[in-house]
Amino acid sequence: MTDQDDPGAGGAPRDAAAGRETGEGTRAVRAGLPEPLKYEPTMPGPVFAAHYHLPGPPTGPYTYGRDENPTWTHLERAIGELEAPGRSVETVVFASGMAAISAVALSQLRSGDVVVFPDDGYQALPLLHEQLRAYGVEVRTSPTGGNAQRKVLDGAKLLWIETPSNPGLDVCDVRALAREAHERGALVAVDNTLATPLGQRPLDLGADFSVASDTKGMTGHGDVLLGHVSIADAELAASVRRWRKIVGAIPGPMEAWLAHRSLATLQLRNDRQCATALTLAHALRERPEVSGLRYPGLPDDPSHRIASLQMRRYGSVVSFSLPDRDHAERFLDGLRLVDDATSFGGVRSTAERRGRWGGDAVPEGFIRFSVGAEDPEDLVADVLRALDALGFTGNRTAG
């Protein structure tokens, strides 16, 4: 539902006296809160309802539980306020990031259309490619770095961008690519999972869809699966909302509520995790057994120049390679403060040998490291201790 449908939005205040936009921390803690109502909770609890009282014609915001839910409405408004402060955008929440991604692709693409996807993006994208091809859609792929997408844009209906890409952390220029895609009549979707809206605002950079897995840094506690799409254009928003109704990929009210609750600490978590990620990257670059270190916040990272033009924080993920699978596995075993687990963006650090899944084009010793909210000194000490324990005696590897 749009802000116009429901004038009750009490979140994201503007500092009226100063006429200025409030800061990100303020916006995060207040995002999506309803107007204060005496004796009502400041943040309403989850509404568990399959249906609503509905005498007479079936109109109005809440009719049936697959279509709308007040807990989603608060969360959707909250996410919208973070995705595009000061603008009216619509947000549609989904049961997972893949549900959100599929909703955009499958609601927009028809048989005969052309879509451009990254070839180094999230590992489940190839499943979607396969499905789209089966429906008669032409799927083209292109690497994320170097704006290589422009070479395959001709005739495309949709350009799909993932920046920074997971797990390689390459970055492309969203503004430039969105402009080119629009000139050629293509829509643009950005998977913003790694950055979160506090790191990057795709709609402000010209994208039509800002899509994310909120399972990751957005909710940040490793206990919720969720996704969302934020959209400025009302017609496109209606088509994505319609798709959710058709496939029913809806979040549970409890998940939606937990997600909204987590947004209040988004800025705190982001600030801590991104700062520690940079500290860890600096520590790793001194290590002889580490090669291929990537973090967009490192001034000499290949992604840094473009990232610094469009990102306000560089994310909580650092990636690097150890000499081989054995070194990587022993490193992960040796960590005490870091769980060997997939996913990223949570308050507890996780790391994994990405090659174990078989879906990404990465070396056997490739580690995707998600920096949590631990004390930076503790985390760096744990990592350095686990590296020391490898007893690496080889020469420093290039890269």
Ligand X SMILES: *Cc1c(COP(=O)(O)O)cnc(C)c1O
* Chosen residue from 193, 196, 200, 219 binding ligand X by CB under 6 A: 193
Choose which of 73, 91, 166, 276 interacts with ligand X (CB under 6 A): 166
Q: State in angstroms the smallest separation of the CB of 98 from ligand X.
A: 4
Establish if 128 lies at the interface with ligand X (CB under 6 A): no
Part in contact with ligand X (CB under 6 A); list of ranges 5-13, 210-218, 261-269, 293-301 = 210-218
Per the structure block, which two tokens stand in for 271? 């600030």
C-alpha 245/C-alpha 12 separation (Å) is 28
Nearest to 148 by CA among 34, 42, 270, 306: 306
Residue 213 is a binding residue for ligand X (CB under 6 A): yes
Q: Of these, 191, 289, 360, 374, which contacts ligand X (CB under 6 A)?
A: 191
Q: Which of residues 277-306 bind ligand X (CB under 6 A)?
A: none
Cβ 132 to ligand X, closest distance in Å? 16
Rounded to whole angstroms, the Cα distance separating 262 from 256 reads: 10
Query: Which of the 8 DSSP states describes residue 187?
Result: E
The verdict on 147 binding ligand X (CB under 6 A) reads: no
Would you say 12 or 105 has its CB closer to ligand X? 105
Phi and psi at residue 210, in whole multiples of 5°? -105, 115
In the complex, what is the shortest distance from the CB of residue 15 to ligand X, in angstroms, rounded to a whole number? 34
* Pick 81 or 191: Cβ nearer ligand X: 191
Residue 79 C-beta: closest distance to ligand X, Å = 14
**Both tokens of residue 139?**
């799927």
x/- letters, 84..103, toward ligand X (CB under 6 A):
------------xxx--x--
Minimal distance, residue 124 CB to ligand X, in Å:
6
8 Å CB contact between 167 and 317: yes
The C-alpha atoms of residue 195 and residue 312 are separated, in whole angstroms, by 9
Would you count residue 122 as binding ligand X (CB under 6 A)? yes
- Which tokens go with 85? 């402060």
Contact 197, 85 (CB under 8 A): no
**What distance lies between CA 311 and its chain's CA centroid?**
13
Query: Should residue 225 be labelled a site residue for ligand X when binding is judged by CB under 6 A?
Result: yes
Q: Are 63 and 205 in contact (CB under 8 A)?
A: no
* Strands 20-21 and 14-15, sheet pairing: antiparallel
Q: Can you give the C-alpha Rg of the chain in angstroms?
A: 21
163 binds ligand X per the rule CB under 6 A: no
346 binds ligand X (CB under 6 A): no
Residues paired with residue 34 on neighbouring β-strands, in sequence order: 9
Using CB positions, name the residue nearest to ligand X. Answer: 97
The reply to whether 210 sits near ligand X by the rule CB under 6 A is no
Q: Which amino acid is at 53?
A: H
Binding residues vs ligand X (CB under 6 A): 96-98, 101, 122, 162, 166, 191, 193-194, 213, 215-216, 225, 227
